[in-house]
Every structure is written in structure tokens, then in C-alpha cells.
Amino acid sequence: MAAPVAENNQQAGNPAQWSSRFAFIMAAVGSAVGLGNIWKFPYITGENGGGAFVLVYLACIAVIGLPLMMAEVMLGRRGGKSPIGTMTSVAASEERSKGWAGIGIMATLAAFLILSFYSVIAGWTMPYILSAVSGDFSGIAAEESGALFGGLLASPGELLLWHSIFMGLTVLVSAGGVRHGLERAVTKLMPALFVLLLILVGYAMTTGHFGEAVSFLFKPDFSALTAEAILVALGHAFFTLSLASGAMMAYGAYLKKDVPIARTSVVVAIMDTGVALLAGLAIFPIVFAHGLEPGAGPGLIFVTLPVAFGQMAGGSFFATLFFVLLLFAAWTSSISMLESLVSYLNEKGVSRVKAAVGGGLVAWLVGVTTVLSLNEWSGFTPLDMFARFEGKTLFDLYDYLTANIMMPLGALLTAVFVGWKMKPEHSAAELGGWHRLWFPIIRYLSPIALLIVFYFNLK
């Protein structure tokens, strides 16, 4: 027999609910698996020296990310509303200050800011699909590939076009509601992405440099590890699991009461981490085989991979497939970023269509400043007076502010709230047997780890 459903999930204006546990997993994995796994993880690993960074990242996922995901899904299901609405109502039912709604507000803002630049980067996949279809990559040399990417970044008009289309796609699905479009899409696209990554890993094994990549990813050299890198790893753990940004809270609100939150979160985190590691195993052997720099930065996937595809039999076909799936992976993520805001506005009586269009439009506008950061405004680094922000463009600053400041801070506040301000019986009612393991972690370990990170960050 199905357990009763939380009443507030049934309110007008917020009628959505996942049809099954599987649907939630696919939606959550759809949110989690995105550019962060396939684009960002490999390049930040490359920039931060490999193995030791990966180890810190895995620890961040297991010790801080996963318990926090459980906390967010738990809060979401308990509140049954948008992240702002959820934090407001859970704080009230716990007889705590209204100020705790700030967690929801900051989360919604972070997701919104991320969406603004995420859309610009996701847009890059579209000209790459076109190039792949027309065989532009076949036999391409590393320098040509670099020039192709450089040309795209140097062209504000082109970037703007793809950014606009991607934001339009995001708004389109968001306006139609979460359940049907998203549920159906992710259940097909996520397994397909997984299969394709396995094929690419298989190819990478034939380059003769697979072992080099394995030791780069898994052999820790702690002398390469900096305090800054630890912060980057933690920030990325939040980013890749879509945490401290309302996405999991919003999706948790649509979860049926009989779905086990803890076990389901473990599955989501494992799938997300698996995809990131596979992406690394697909990309680094190719990087090494071509004598390229693993620390190449953001261009890694858009410069290096085309070179590899250009030398594969059937490379145009695989490249097309790869960038199409990257686009869809980004798409299912971007929708979850808009969800915090859309569900909030929806609660306030704005129709879903208006909320999605309005939110998308403002995010698009902020995204234009990211487009310009890549070319016309590349010399505009407004916070140069602070050593920490020196040389950072607006785009760099959005990325830094969200991943390194807002998300860890939101995570800290969430851990303090569920660990110290919420009655343990209430969280136990949602988490079941796992609560005994989870509670001491979220109460002591997570806040302490987060405080240490802040100390090193602000020192």
C-alpha cells in the first residue's frame, strides 16, 4: 500500500509529483550530471594536479555532499514547497526564527546566478554539434581546434545566439512543468550518456596512455595539493550534486512519502561521481596521447576532445552524439536551476509560464555579461583591489562567488539548521534507519569541516 502523501504537496499551484522513485532518481541525476561532470571536473582536476585533488573531492562528496543532499531532500519533502517556502514553513513548524528562510533565498539566488553563466557554456555545445555533423573535426590538429574554440569565444554575437537558444530551451521545459517533459527525457538520455561515456573510455584505452591517466586521476601526490584546491574540490562537490542551490530541495518536495531518501541519495551521488570519473578516464588518455596540457583549463573539452574525435573512425558520428548528449545533460541541469525560482513565484500566484519566462529573461540578461566577459570585457576585472579576486572577470567572479562562497555558506547554514535547530525526531521520521549514521555527521562533522574550509578561505 502506498504511504499517504504530504498534504501541502497537493496544494493548487504545486501539484507536481514524481511518478516513482526511479523518476526522482533520473531527475536528480539529470540535475546532478551536467557540465560540472563532463566539462568542469576534468579541467579542475587537471589544473589542481590530479590524484590528490580527486581524493579530496571524493571525500567531500561522501562526507559533506551526500549527507547534505539527504538533508536537502528531507527538508524539501517535509516542507513540500519551493526552497524559500519550504525553509519558511519548516522553520515555523520547528518554532525557529523566520530568518532561516534565508537559506532558501540564498539558494535560489545562487541557482539563478549559476543558470546565467551555465546557459552561456551549455550554448557552446550547439556550434560543436554543427561542426561535428559537418565533419569539421576530422584530422583537425590541436592548434586548429584551439583556434576554432578561440574564434567562438571571441565572437559575442555567436555566443549570444547560442546562449539565447539554450535559455529558450530551458524556459520551454520549465514552463511546461517538471513531470512530463523532464521525466520522460531524463530516463532515456541519462542511460544513453552513460553508454556513450563507456564507449569513449573504451577508445581512450586504445591510446596507449590509459595507465598514465589512471595514475594521474588516482595516484595522489599531496605535494600538488593547495588550500585553494581543497576549497575548489568542496565547491565542486556542491556544484556537481546541485546542492546549496535549492535544486534538491525543490525536487524533494515532489517526492512521495514512501521513497527512502537516504538510499536514493546514495544512488544519485554514486551515479554522479561515476560519470565524472568516467569523463576523466575518457579525456585524460587523449590529452596525454596528444602531448597536451591536463591543466589547460576550461578549453579542455572543447579543444582536446575534437582532436581525438577527428582521429577516430566514425569520429564525426561520435562527436555529434557526444555534444548532443552534453547539451541534454546541461539542459536537464539548467531546468533544475530555474526550478527554485519558478516554484517560488508559482507559490506566490504567478503562473508557471510567466514565472519561467520572466526568470529566464532576467537570467539571460545577466548571462550577457558572461558572454562579454569572454571577449569585449575580458579586461574588465572590477575587484582587482582584492588580491583574491585579482584578474577575475565578471564570469570568473560569478563562478567564484557561487561555488566557493554562497554554496559552502548555504551548506553550513543547512547543516546547522538540521543538526541543531530541527528536532531529530522530525528528520528521523523522513530518513528512517539511516538517521543514526547521518545525524552525527550533519551535526558535528559537516559544520566543522565547513568551518575549517572557511578559515582557510578567509585567512
- Copy the grid coordinates of residue 331: 539542459
Question: Which one-letter DSSP state was computed for residue 293?
Answer: -
Stretch that binds ligand TRP, among 168-176, 235-243, 298-306, 420-428 (CB under 6 A): 235-243
Among 48, 108, 170, 245, the residue binding ligand TRP under the rule CB under 6 A is 245
34 binds ligand TRP (CB under 6 A): yes
303 binds ligand TRP (CB under 6 A): no
114 binds ligand TRP (CB under 6 A): yes
With respect to ligand TRP, which residue has the nearer C-beta, 66 or 337?
A: 337
343 binds ligand TRP (CB under 6 A): no
68 binds ligand TRP (CB under 6 A): no
Among 24, 26, 36, 324, the residue binding ligand TRP under the rule CB under 6 A is 36
229 binds ligand TRP (CB under 6 A): no
* Cβ-contact 450, 411 below 8 angstroms: yes
Give the C-alpha separation, 160 to 372, whole Å. 9
Q: What share of the chain is helix, strand, coil (3-state, %, to 5)?
A: 80, 0, 20
Q: What is the dihedral of CA 434, 437, 443, 446, to 10 degrees?
A: -100
Binding mask 130-169 for ligand TRP (x = CB under 6 A): ----------------------------------------
With respect to ligand TRP, which residue has the nearer C-beta, 35 or 175?
A: 35
Q: What is the dihedral of CA 107, 111, 114, 118, to 10 degrees?
A: 160
With respect to ligand TRP, which residue has the nearer C-beta, 85 or 310?
A: 85
DSSP 373-432: HTTTTTT--TTTTSGGGTT--HHHHHHHIIIIIIHHHHHHHHHHIIIIIS-HHHHHHHHG
- Copy the grid coordinates of residue 140: 583537425
240 binds ligand TRP (CB under 6 A): yes
Among 23, 26, 32, 121, the residue binding ligand TRP under the rule CB under 6 A is 32
Q: How many of the chain's residues bind ligand TRP (CB under 6 A)?
A: 16
Give the C-alpha separation, 289 to 287, whole Å. 6
Question: What residue ranges bind ligand TRP (CB under 6 A)?
Answer: 31-32, 34-37, 111, 114, 239-240, 242, 245, 247, 333, 336-337
